[in-house]
Structure 1
């Protein structure tokens, strides 16, 4: 969600695919909408969260890497922590609005299922305790796990960025070792209520964040990977095809039982909380093929068709928060009023339209504010 400073060489792929991830997250949070089949969640091991976290790491390195090189560790760290505070405040505001929406609709329509399904019952029973836990990021309603993960990753980012600017490879190795150790020993941050840990384990999900950040400082490695396209691309396609077969076997009756028992024992469960290696490799395969086939100057990125996605990606924090709020609103409409296919399509399209409209307004305001700033006058030399 950190934004790179606008430059002439801005890579619109970051904004485009971050905007796409925001749309996918919004749709995936509505469990009763046919449009979820338009997202990548049902066609492999990874989903939009991996896209979002990786691009967030990449964008954070672009946004703050130059500042750390020019202004030093302390000032750059202060800028990063200021952004952490902004995201933390946004998370708390979203938490209050989201829980209020759920509680109001549950009471207004006398349907306790919403309170239980969205994990808000504890808050209503013990608001004085639960509010403190929410401030500590230990209590979160369902679908509100991404921002706390990002807050923790970005808060720890100054040290990682300092290392990436000097020796990116050792930082990547340390990240991989932390990932392996966290999965091996079950490290996670405490949750409330219970001791299940965070839904997105920061000790494992940091891997994608660090890989995204390190990619900005390892051009030689990326160039080498690009030159290996002849054998890496077919390998990536083969793995994606394998993941597609497994994922479709979960949903399509003709493929049910097509996965051999011995293979299923090695594959399942495909753990999202601790970022299962199958998910990690699946995302990296997608990222590799995307980088091979969609260049930074691809014409589609600057087209009118791509503009809604690009502008949503450029204002990701606000769009994400509104998307979380709208996703429950949409699910409520489908469950309480009309769950027909036309209504599902209308609710999904309407939510995306509102998210895009918000991004457009923010973009217009930012451009107007920038244009209204007085230009420095050049004083002629005496």
Structure 2
């Protein structure tokens, strides 16, 4: 296995930032219930959705970045860079968690809306604020919409040993990830959350997409690439996507669902998101397969100006995600206080995306100013 060759082939792939930007926008829209704009997100048309895309690309890009550091400067330096990133993610989670629960508590008290505390999974905030904060520091609290960042932080914390083995025995690491996935589903392994229940995204299962992304980045791209041109696999993939669309629509519209046998409908509804059902993993892999077939790395359309905001949001994924989580709460509450009309829903969604995009451009500009300032001193 030539890791250098794989890293060179995957370097400067604009598709990664583009689709990470799409994932961030989609997560924001999906986090606003009863919003007309979230009808356009991927979760409505198949088994997988924005969370799957976010975790997969995060694993892919993390493997590329830190494997390159390890090859150039050694494993110890690479491991320290990984744990620096883990600290950044953890700090972002804690800051966002604190702002989140303080805002929710304030809104609930100011507007006499105690139900919002239960809705956002911080039921113990009033009676046990210290315990909520303490368990939050241990990633054991589960406020609504912070689950993806919570999962991402934990997965990154284990990236160093995963990458060490991946760079030596990539296929063995992938097999181990699959074994852990199936074992977790069979033995019902998961982490407990406070005050009750389990993690919404079971890390023992969701690690599969993260490791799959890393595996493809370091060794699997060439093998995967050879399958893209297969007509048989392409048509089988399209058939499965149509089947997933039908099952998803059948779950959303009872009248349409009556056209299918009950046993078939019950097998896919409700969609097992917590433990990442195998049919969900397969759906995501097929989506990646089909999209990669049509959208190649050097596609001219990727450089169209219309895609620049998405690419920029992908480049600044962490702050954009954090801002999106907070804005989704503000948007949800704003719609609750207002008429909740279609026009209001569109205004909230578009305004949120505009703010996220502004934040991405500002952070990118600010980083560029810091670079120029450093160069001016040299």
TM-score calculated relative to the size of structure 2: 0.94
Residues 111-154 of structure 1: CA deviation (Å, up to 9, x unaligned)? 11211111122122101212111100001211111111111111
- The answer on whether the counterparts of 1:120 and 1:141 sit within 8 Å (CA) in structure 2 is yes
- The answer on whether the counterparts of 2:191 and 2:199 sit within 8 Å (CA) in structure 1 is yes
Alpha-carbon distance, 1:367 to partner: 1.8
In 1: Cα distance, 2:164 partner to 2:260 partner: 45
Quote the residue 2:175 is aligned against. 173
In 2: Cα distance, 1:261 partner to 1:303 partner: 46
In 2: Cα distance, 1:190 partner to 1:253 partner: 34
Q: Secondary structure in 1 aligned to 2:218?
A: coil
- The answer on whether the counterparts of 1:133 and 1:139 sit within 8 Å (CA) in structure 2 is yes
Quote the residue 1:24 is aligned against. 26
Moved more, 59-68 or 211-220: 211-220
Alpha-carbon distance, 1:375 to partner: 6.9
In 2: Cα distance, 1:346 partner to 1:362 partner: 24
Quote the residue 1:325 is aligned against. 326
- The answer on whether the counterparts of 2:64 and 2:218 sit within 8 Å (CA) in structure 1 is no
Structure 1, unaligned stretches of length 5 or more? 378-382
TM-score calculated relative to the size of structure 1: 0.93
- The answer on whether the counterparts of 2:10 and 2:217 sit within 8 Å (CA) in structure 1 is no
In 2: Cα distance, 1:136 partner to 1:224 partner: 43
Alpha-carbon distance, 1:269 to partner: 4.1
Quote the residue 1:233 is aligned against. 234
- The answer on whether the counterparts of 2:251 and 2:269 sit within 8 Å (CA) in structure 1 is no
1 or 2, which has the higher helix percentage? 2
- The answer on whether the counterparts of 1:270 and 1:278 sit within 8 Å (CA) in structure 2 is no
Alpha-carbon distance, 1:6 to partner: 12
- The answer on whether the counterparts of 2:249 and 2:256 sit within 8 Å (CA) in structure 1 is yes
Q: Secondary structure in 2 aligned to 1:115?
A: helix
Residues 15-70 of structure 1: CA deviation (Å, up to 9, x unaligned)? 00000000000000000210011101111111100000000000001110011122
Alpha-carbon distance, 1:7 to partner: 11
CA RMSD of aligned residues (A): 1.8
Quote the residue 2:137 is aligned against. 135
Quote the residue 1:119 is aligned against. 121
Aligned residues: 371
Moved more, 212-221 or 141-150: 212-221
Alpha-carbon distance, 1:270 to partner: 2.5
In 1: Cα distance, 2:297 partner to 2:222 partner: 17
Quote the residue 1:101 is aligned against. 103
Moved more, 156-165 or 214-223: 214-223
- The answer on whether the counterparts of 1:32 and 1:334 sit within 8 Å (CA) in structure 2 is no
Structure 2, unaligned stretches of length 5 or more? 1-6
In 2: Cα distance, 1:52 partner to 1:360 partner: 20
In 2: Cα distance, 1:124 partner to 1:6 partner: 53
Q: Secondary structure in 1 aligned to 2:125?
A: helix
Q: Are 2:74 and 1:91 equivalent residues in the alignment? A: no
Q: Are 2:210 and 1:209 equivalent residues in the alignment? A: yes
In 1: Cα distance, 2:329 partner to 2:377 partner: 47
